[in-house]
Amino acid sequence: MEAMRIQETCYHIHSLCVQAKRILVVSHENCGDATGALLAFGGYLADLGVSYELWLPGPVGSTVQFLPGAVEVAHTTLPALEQFDMIVSLDAADEVQAGLENAEFKQWQTIGNPLVVIDHHYTNTGYGTVNWINPHAAATCAMLYDYFFSIKQPITRKMATCLLTGILTDTGSFSNAATNQEALSAASELLIRGAPLATIIRHTFKAAENLALLRLWGRVLSRIRYRSTYGMAIACITQHDLRMCGLTENDLDGMANVMNVIKDIRVGLLLTELSDGTIKGSLRTTRDDIDVAQFAAQFGGGGHQRAAGFKLPGRFAHTKQGLQII
């Protein structure tokens, strides 16, 4: 019964795409699954001959810039929505994460245009007119693999590369609890379709080989703090740290995952000072009895049980007690 319902949803989404004149596809920034899903869906729309635009709230992350079509992704300023009669939001739990919180979007919604949401975050608010949300999926890219299979859409080598990248990054290269049989099966099929596993891993999981990033971690780890009350290790990256190491915010993809390798901690929290006057918090855990998404929700954020994030206004200041957010 569940399989039939999913297939019906996939056919419905496909029919909306075929009927649309121009589609805006959005996702959230700094995520291999989000960017991979965005680009794979763009490849699908191109095969359909449907006019579309791909957009992220920020630049494509440095570790996934190798993906085919990455240069086509627009960012920062949201395109004028009046030119689109449909929006597809991928891997974004709410409108804010998808960059759709402005007044123009609210006006666009009142017209009755379809907003399709495809996501695997259990914290998703169901903000679409069509919502396909599967918190049991390893990645949104794994859901798109099922989508293409259901509608009998051929998966090209480029699409396979994007989908496998999303699955690999969200499962930690099949090392975290998100890994399941469906993800492994999809990955096997994507390899058959030409996805270059070695290339994907080289770009997404070997960032530590970058000497500048190692220097950055040297600075960060030297002042890491452990809060025994919560079993939480807290690390901070300042704008000064980035300048001293010759890095930018766009070079930090996957940095929070390093917190998972610290032994005997319950939760790792990486706080990064951004140039826009906000502090980005990235939470990680490997434990089954902790839900970091609930923690992130206290600060207006969200995510998965073992990986979540939030943003706060503020900047770091040096005090006698160490770095503090002001």
Label residue 84 by pLDDT band (50, 70, 90): very high
Render pLDDT for 154-188 as a digit per residue (tens, 0 to 9). 999 999 999 999 999 988 888 777 889 999 999 99
| Per-residue pLDDT reduced to its tens digit, 274-321 | 988 999 998 888 777 888 888 898 888 888 888 888 999 988 887 776
Is pLDDT above 80 for 258? no
Dist CA 228 CA 236 (whole Å)? 17
Q: What is the pTM of this model?
A: 0.79
Looking at residue 230, what is its pLDDT?
A: 78
Residue 195 DSSP one-character state: -
What are 226's two structure tokens? Answer: 């452990």
The residue to which tokens 């009895």 are assigned: 289
Question: E-assigned strands of the chain?
Answer: 22-26, 51-56, 74-75, 86-90, 115-119, 130-133, 225-227, 232-237, 267-273, 278-284, 302-303, 307-313, 316-319, 322-325
Token pair 């891997």: residue: 91
pLDDT per residue over 127-163, tens digit each? Answer: 999 999 999 999 999 999 999 999 999 999 999 999 9
- Find where tokens 């293409």 sit: 148
Residue ranges of domains in the chain, CATH in brackets: 2-204 (3.90.1640.10), 210-325 (3.10.310.30)
Share of the chain above pLDDT 70, in %: 96
The confidence band for 260, taking pLDDT boundaries of 50, 70 and 90, is low
Q: What is the mean pLDDT of residues 86-113?
A: 91
At 308, phi and psi to the nearest 5? -150, 175
What's the pLDDT band for 262 if we cut at 50, 70, 90?
low
pLDDT of residue 214: 81
- CB burial of 221-260 (b: ≥16 within 10 Å; e: otherwise) equals eeebeeeeeeebbbbbbbeebbeebebebebbbbbbbbbb
